Amino acid sequence: MTTSRLAILLGVVTLGMGAVHLLPKSPGQPTGITLYIPSELFDWTGRDAEVSKKEIDTLGKGTEFARKVFRNTTTGARGYEVLVSIVLSGHDMANSIHRPERCLTAQGWNVLNSTEFVMQLPKRGGFPITRLKNNRVIKTGGGEQVQQSAFTYYWFVGERAIAASHWGRWFTDNRDRLLRGVNQRWAFITVTGIIPSAKDPNLQGEMEKLADRQIRMLIEELAPQIHKDGLSYQ
């Protein structure tokens, strides 16, 4: 009896979620993000970065991109670089917006750990964000193999909501389709910085703290510039 009830419940839920995509859509596809990334952010100067043809072809028709590499200009961290990338979903959102682990693995990165927390923005409030620590093996100019580590921060932005995970975005998207009849356009933002290697292994922890601090400082300056008014903060 219990198995039968569970099967019925699963069927109802499945049909309900499937019906979400049959509901009338609101005109247009509202989004809470702007694709304009300024070239100057407080202590940072940015330059445009390439979006490869493979990325464009893979993520599908209608997907839009914005990407810049920012270099720190202050004395304490001068020269430190952070890559900022925005992907705005196209016609096939299931293909153009996905979990970042999929991209990182394809680029040869191994995800060591994942942490979700609330990033605080002055005068706005907090929003959920995820930080990944990754590593990979690369070859130097001399052919030597060395290990490289990095932090990648990411979050998703819909019309009103900000989500720190793929499933959080999925839940919000389907809820808004069902309850509000909104077919919103989601954006996926990633911010990545390489962790410098310390000559003294005992100081590697300090290098991680430096990289983490710089990336967070950049996000605090970046988010208010690319988030539109109307987004919900915690």
Tens-digit pLDDT profile for residues 200-220: 989 999 999 999 999 999 999
- pLDDT in the model for residue 21: 47
pLDDT at 137 over 70: yes
Helix (H) or strand (E) holding 84: strand 81-88
pLDDT band at 40 (very low <50, low <70, confident <90, very high): very high
Q: Rounded to whole angstroms, what are the CA distances from 192 to 92, 131, 200, 214, 220? A: 25, 10, 24, 11, 14
- pLDDT in the model for residue 80: 95
In 89-203, which ranges are E strands? 110-121, 125-139, 145-157, 162-163, 187-195
Q: Rounded to whole angstroms, what are the CA distances from 57 to 29, 64, 73? A: 22, 11, 35
State the chain's mean pLDDT as an integer: 86
- pLDDT in the model for residue 13: 43
β-bridge partners, 64: 88
Identify the weakest region by mean pLDDT among 4-8, 35-39, 109-113, 180-184: 4-8
Helix (H) or strand (E) holding 82: strand 81-88
Distance CA 37, CA 67 (A): 8
pLDDT band at 5 (very low <50, low <70, confident <90, very high): low
**Of residues 125 and 4, more confidently modeled:** 125
- pLDDT in the model for residue 143: 78
pLDDT at 62 over 80: yes
Q: Across residues 85-99, what is the average pLDDT?
A: 80
Identify the weakest region by mean pLDDT among 36-45, 84-93, 114-123, 165-174: 84-93
Q: Across residues 46-64, what is the average pLDDT?
A: 88
Identify the weakest region by mean pLDDT among 90-94, 106-110, 180-184: 90-94
pLDDT band at 12 (very low <50, low <70, confident <90, very high): very low
Distance CA 145, CA 170 (A): 39
Q: Tokens 């539109």 correspond to what residue?
A: 228
Sequence-distant (≥ 6) Cβ neighbours of residue 49 within 8 angstroms: 67, 68, 69, 83, 85
- pLDDT in the model for residue 28: 65
Identify the weakest region by mean pLDDT among 102-106, 182-186, 193-197: 102-106
**Of residues 142 and 172, more confidently modeled:** 172
Residue 89's CB: how many other CB atoms inside 10 A? Answer: 26
Q: Rounded to whole angstroms, what are the CA distances from 167 to 40, 82, 164, 174? A: 33, 26, 9, 11
pLDDT band at 112 (very low <50, low <70, confident <90, very high): very high
